[in-house]
Amino acid sequence: MENIETGQLIKLTVNEQSKEIYVRNSETLLHTLREKLGLMGVKPGCYNGDCGSCTVLIDGIPINACHILSVEAVGYQIMTIEGLKDQTIPEEFIKNWAIQCGYCTPGFILNSYALVQNNPDADDAAIDEWLESNICRCTGYQEIKESVKNILNVKR
User: Which residues would be at the binding site for another protein (CB under 8 A)?
Assistant: 1-2, 4-5, 24, 34-35, 38, 40-41, 43-51, 53, 80-82, 90-91, 93-94, 97, 99-106, 109, 128-129, 131-132, 134-145
CB of 134 to ligand FES, least distance (A): 8
Is residue 62 involved in binding ligand FES (CB under 6 A)? no
Our CA angle for 68, 70, 76, nearest 5°, is 85
Closest Cα to residue 116, out of 127, 105, 128?
127
Other C-beta atoms closer than 10 Å to the C-beta of 116 total 20
Phi and psi at residue 5, to the nearest 5°: -70, 140
Q: For the window 92-111, what string marks contact with ligand FES as x by the rule CB under 6 A?
A: -------xxxxxx-------
Residue 61's binding partner out of another protein, ligand FES, none, with CB under 5 to 8 Å set by partner kind: none
Of the pair 23, 51, the CB lying nearest ligand FES is at 51
Our CA angle for 43, 108, 12, nearest 5°, is 55
